[in-house]
Amino acid sequence: MIARPDALPGARAAACLTQFQQRPPLIHCLTNEVVQSLTANVLLALGASPAMVVEPQEAAQFSALADGLLINVGTLNALRAESMRAAVAAANQAGKPWTLDPVAVGALSYRTAFAKQLLDEKPAAIRGNASEIMALSGLLASGRGVDSGDDSLAALPAARELAQRSGAVVAVTGAVDYVTDGQRDWAIEGGSPLMTRVVGTGCALSAVVAAFCALPGDRLDNAATACRVMSHCGGLAARQAGGPGSFTPAFLDALYQLRGEDL
Amino acid sequence: MIARPDALPGARAAACLTQFQQRPPLIHCLTNEVVQSLTANVLLALGASPAMVVEPQEAAQFSALADGLLINVGTLNALRAESMRAAVAAANQAGKPWTLDPVAVGALSYRTAFAKQLLDEKPAAIRGNASEIMALSGLLASGRGVDSGDDSLAALPAARELAQRSGAVVAVTGAVDYVTDGQRDWAIEGGSPLMTRVVGTGCALSAVVAAFCALPGDRLDNAATACRVMSHCGGLAARQAGGPGSFTPAFLDALYQLRGEDL
Amino acid sequence: MIARPDALPGARAAACLTQFQQRPPLIHCLTNEVVQSLTANVLLALGASPAMVVEPQEAAQFSALADGLLINVGTLNALRAESMRAAVAAANQAGKPWTLDPVAVGALSYRTAFAKQLLDEKPAAIRGNASEIMALSGLLASGRGVDSGDDSLAALPAARELAQRSGAVVAVTGAVDYVTDGQRDWAIEGGSPLMTRVVGTGCALSAVVAAFCALPGDRLDNAATACRVMSHCGGLAARQAGGPGSFTPAFLDALYQLRGEDL
């Protein structure tokens, strides 16, 4: 059995959020076609500035200007892969942190090969579900498909291994989220099953992780705070929503109204 | 004059919906850029799992894994056409049903040629407005443009001819929807004019048709139930909405809350 | 100091809106990936018909059929640039007005070169923030980045110069919007800071400008009315919203319910 990590202390999360709101970052999002609007709106609700710049030369130019970069392989194709490689190289050259969301890695071949190559490019953080993190870590030969059938706690050893190998903070998310730097772990509870009935909540979380990784300070705490912010506001919104339709406006409002002391 | 078909019996629709909710399908959506988010959210609200996988090799790989495939030509280009052809071939090889939404076919040349080629690839269902169905059937030389000026009942003979020729169940939708397998027809009333003021309600209906075509049983009844589910929830949402903005959350909530006995 | 122009008279705006609602246009939108859904929903709420047709041949074919064309360079790449050039050429040949939204021009090289080339193609209108309009006018060597740090009034001389050189009506928008044809100017107040926390409100405004440019009559008044419609409804929605999530449904409802006498 895997021992369950401690919960991220509320005071740590509150301090990170306050710091975030004092100097909200500009985040370059190379993400999938389906979730771009929600991703941008989540970052905007938190006070951050999102931008999606897709032409390869411009993607590189912009990644050097932005405070952080998100790479999400959900609708990867050859054109987008070229832009992503250029953006990651430019971010690394400029010393800007980048975050990987390995959507459906393990289940689909092209993106799996691409994501594994990117692991050598020093991601600051990786955020995925249990199947994706297991597939990326190589602890399992392949994932189980697009939806994650694995409990996130069961994937924590794979997450730790992946963190040690890549140097990234790794968040494996599900009913409970776990964030690890390979040595230390935090657990984050909250959220709502309703979040799985709204497209892009996981992808938007990865963007928020990318944004919090632009903060100075302990990257483990910063990434865990991103998870906490989303699960806290998701739980709040679910309690007032009649379904996934009314969830989304309530969720964005909750992110907009959130203050450090709420955590 | 064309005789109006009988309405789909509520008990048939209720039985189909209950069966759908017991084993909700995974649907691969190769759809247009504008409506991907609403399409995914409509499927998620109904309990199904949407995925958009666009790289040609992966699109083929995923279509064999999914329970059904949607092809929507709204923002077709050469790259997306290649992915669609690969996905349709893989779906057919794996025995998975695929559904065609011929957006603006008749009015625009490139997509019209593409959609007519796809008719030879054994679609399980086709969902369009009157102009699109008439143009695809070849009963008229061309459609009238992007919006359908034709009454859906007037297009029923074209829909029947198209069903007989292609082997697909054909849904011609408008103020009233008609679904035919070339021999038998159902009429579906309900809905609201407000649905025409929200982008993607028709495209999302096609995705729901694709999802219901993954059910076993009578494909005519399954496709007609998809139309009934959407028109029922659309009518409900319109009655509580102050406009197209508040319609969408209410519509998704209604889809989420829908149970067989409501039909 | 720059003298502040007079406010657009409410009676002028009311007359333009009434004319718009009597014959709402069909608008071809070649816009960025992130905002397509909101853009379409804003046009639909106002009664207009949006369409996004992206394949180069079809984009040209459709621009000749539509009443107006929007070009937004937010997620420009080589493929989309080809479609945009074809669409602009076809619109000009057919005598249909086209509108340019120079997103992030000045900050990023590829799109800046592209947008400057398009200036020779007789745009009917240009809508941007202060940085973008200054960069496009050439009065400054470059913009300041994606977000506009410049007050819109400070950019009015650049807007006038750009209008004179290109022949377009130029709208420079911010906390107050200014619209100029190079000789005459209008100021438009209203709106809400909350609109900057929702992705695509500026891009959607450009689509509304494109739609109002399809009206006969004074193009300066038409474009200024587009700004007035959006700022009026944005202000209304912000007063009832608890954040950016509840803003969007309220905004679309307000656009749908708007009548000339409200202005």
DSSP characters over C190-259 = ---GGGGGSTTHHHHHHHHHHHHTTSSS-HHHHHHHHHHHHHHHHHHHHHH-SSHHHHHHHHHHHHHH--
Contact B79 A76 (CB under 8 A): no
Instruction: Look at residue A140 in the predicted model and tell me its pLDDT.
Output: 62
Q: Flag whether A12 is marked binding.
A: no
Backbone phi and psi for residue B167, each to the nearest 5 degrees, phi listed first? 80, 0
E strands in C63-168 = 68-72, 98-101, 125-128
Instruction: Look at residue B93 in the predicted model and tell me its pLDDT.
Output: 98
Q: Flag whether C235 is marked binding.
A: no
Instruction: Look at residue A139 in the predicted model and tell me its pLDDT.
Output: 77
Percent of chain B with pLDDT over 90: 94
Contact B58 A109 (CB under 8 A): yes
Instruction: Look at residue B12 in the predicted model and tell me its pLDDT.
Output: 97
Instruction: Look at residue C140 in the predicted model and tell me its pLDDT.
Output: 62
- Whether A108 shows a pLDDT value over 60: the answer reads yes
**Quick one: average pLDDT of B195-219?**
98
- Whether C149 shows a pLDDT value over 70: the answer reads no
pLDDT band, residue C138 (cuts 50/70/90): confident
Percent of chain B with pLDDT over 70: 95
Contact B109 C79 (CB under 8 A): no
B44: nearest CB among A35, A108, A197 = A197
**Quick one: average pLDDT of C120-125?**
98
**What are the residue ranges spanned by the domains of chain B?**
10-139+147-258
**Quick one: average pLDDT of A3-23?**
96
Q: What is the pTM of this model?
A: 0.96
| Among C42, C43, C256, the residue to mutate for chain B (most B Cβ within 10 A) | C256
Instruction: Look at residue C145 in the predicted model and tell me its pLDDT.
Output: 43
Strand partners, B27: B50, B68
Residues B28-37 pLDDT 10s? 999 999 999 9
Average pLDDT, chain B: 95
Residues A20-67 pLDDT 10s? 999 999 999 999 999 999 999 999 999 999 999 999 999 999 999 999
Instruction: For residue A22, count other CB atoms closer than 10 A to its CB.
Output: 9
A244: nearest CB among B36, B44, B65 = B44
- Whether C67 shows a pLDDT value over 80: the answer reads yes
Q: Which two tokens stand for residue C90?
A: 């076809």
Instruction: Look at residue B58 in the predicted model and tell me its pLDDT.
Output: 98
Contact C34 A37 (CB under 8 A): yes
Q: Count of CB contacts below 8 A, B vs C?
A: 94
Could you tell me which chain C residue has the CA closest to the CA of B200? C37
Contact A65 C107 (CB under 8 A): yes
Contact B199 C61 (CB under 8 A): no
Instruction: Look at residue B140 in the predicted model and tell me its pLDDT.
Output: 63
**Quick one: average pLDDT of A224-245?**
98
Residues C175-229 pLDDT 10s? 999 999 999 999 999 999 999 999 999 999 999 999 999 999 999 999 999 999 9
Distance between CA atoms of residues C235 and C195, nearest Å = 9
Percent of chain C with pLDDT over 70: 95
Q: Complex ipTM, two decimals?
A: 0.95
Chain B residue numbers with beta carbons less than 8 Å from the beta carbon of C41 are 198-199, 244-245
Could you tell me which chain B residue has the CA closest to the CA of A198? B41
Q: Flag whether B197 is marked binding.
A: no
**Quick one: average pLDDT of B247-252?**
98
Q: A200 by DSSP, 3-state: which?
A: coil
Q: Which two tokens stand for residue B121?
A: 């690839």
Q: Which two tokens stand for residue A11?
A: 């005071």
Among the four given CATH numbers 1.10.540.10, 3.40.50.300, 3.40.1190.20, 3.40.50.2000, the one describing domain B10-139+147-258: 3.40.1190.20
| Residue A165 parent element (H or E) | helix A156-166
pLDDT band, residue C139 (cuts 50/70/90): confident
- Whether B183 shows a pLDDT value over 80: the answer reads yes
- Whose CA is closest to A63, among A90, A43, A83, A40? A90
- Whose CA is closest to C249, among B256, B194, A2? B194
| Among A105, A199, A203, A246, the residue to mutate for chain B (most B Cβ within 10 A) | A199
pLDDT band, residue B10 (cuts 50/70/90): very high
Contact C44 B76 (CB under 8 A): no
CA distance C85 to chain B (A): 16
The four Cα atoms B106, B109, B110, B115 give a dihedral, to 10 degrees, of 30
Contact B243 C257 (CB under 8 A): yes
Distance between CA atoms of residues A84 and A73, nearest Å = 9
Q: Flag whether A217 is marked binding.
A: no
C54: nearest CB among B77, B147, B199 = B77
Instruction: Look at residue B139 in the predicted model and tell me its pLDDT.
Output: 78
Type of residue at A174 = G
Residues A130-181 pLDDT 10s? 999 999 998 764 444 444 555 899 999 999 999 999 999 999 999 999 999 9
A45: nearest CB among C75, C110, C197 = C197
CA distance B255 to chain C (A): 18
| Among C41, C49, C258, the residue to mutate for chain B (most B Cβ within 10 A) | C41
Instruction: Look at residue C150 in the predicted model and tell me its pLDDT.
Output: 55
Q: Count of CB contacts below 8 A, A vs B?
A: 94
